[in-house]
Chain A
Amino acid sequence: MTDEIQKKFQKELELYNGVQKDIKKAIGLKQQLDSQLNENKAVKEELALLKKDSEVYKLIGPVLVKQDLDEARTNVSKRMEYISKEIKRTDDHISALENKQEALQENLNKLRNDLGKLKLKA
């Protein structure tokens, strides 16, 4: 009986550690997205400040390609939208993982209690 619970405990613990790793990864991803969004925000502000006839270039590989200002503005806005959506998705992912983690934690606590009781009996 004790062995069985011990095994189950091990298994749950592995699951728990896996989820914890996933959460760390997701948080890292979110931070990356956040900084991308901030950079895009700065670019958007800068593009908004430019005069109508200003020349804008985009770095593609090693060359600078001339871009239409309006096109550049819409492109940046679109990218910000996309990144915001990604951030929301990652947020949902993180909270789902956290819920999972909580459930696993409860399970672990229960199993630990059971183990303790069994040991007391024995």
Chain B
Amino acid sequence: MNIYFPFLFQELSVFQDSIQTLQIAKSKFVESGESLEKITPAIKGKTILVPLTGSMYVPGTVADVDNVVIDIGTGYYAQKDIDGGKDYFKRKVEFVAEQMEKINLLGMEKSKLRQAVGMIMEMKFQSELQAQKAPAS
């Protein structure tokens, strides 16, 4: 039991970590989806500043307002139109939210288990204390 207890703690912190990572991923997807809103036909031909490094920008003009290229993972990038891109980020946000829900459920089960184990340990401790006291009195 004593060995099992810290193990439960470890598991719980793994769950918390993954939820945090997922939360970050989710907000990134939401942000990317929102930035698509800014690409409208109205900005076609307008000048923008393109970041080359974090602190250096070069001027450029927007030539294509209909398509965006999206990183879909493992080094692959796909060209999509604006609506397709928005749809992509919407789906990703949903996917991440689903995973978070799953982990939340698992985490709740584990913390219930941890509580139960803690209670049993407390009870054992108390009864041992009683047993030790009894002969002394």
Contact = CB atoms under 8 A, between A and B. Distances in A.
A46 B88 contact: yes
Interface stretch (A21-29, A51-59, A85-93, A105-113): A51-59
Interface in B100-131: none
B100 to A, nearest CB: 15
A57 B77 contact: yes
A64 B78 CA distance: 10
A42 B72 CA distance: 8
Contacts of A43: 72-74, 76
Interface residues of B, number: 13
A67 to B, nearest CB: 8
A16 to B, nearest CB: 17
Interface residues of A, number: 20
B73 A47 contact: no
Contacts of A42: 72-73, 95
A52 B74 CA distance: 21
Interface string A15-45: 0000000000000000000001001101100
A39 B78 contact: no
Contacts of B59: none
Contact of A56 (B73, B76, B95): B76
21 contacts: A40-B74, A42-B72, A43-B73, A43-B74, A46-B76, A46-B78, A50-B78, A50-B80, A54-B80, A56-B77, A57-B69, A57-B77, A58-B75, A58-B76, A58-B77, A59-B76, A60-B75, A64-B69, A76-B74, A76-B76, A79-B74
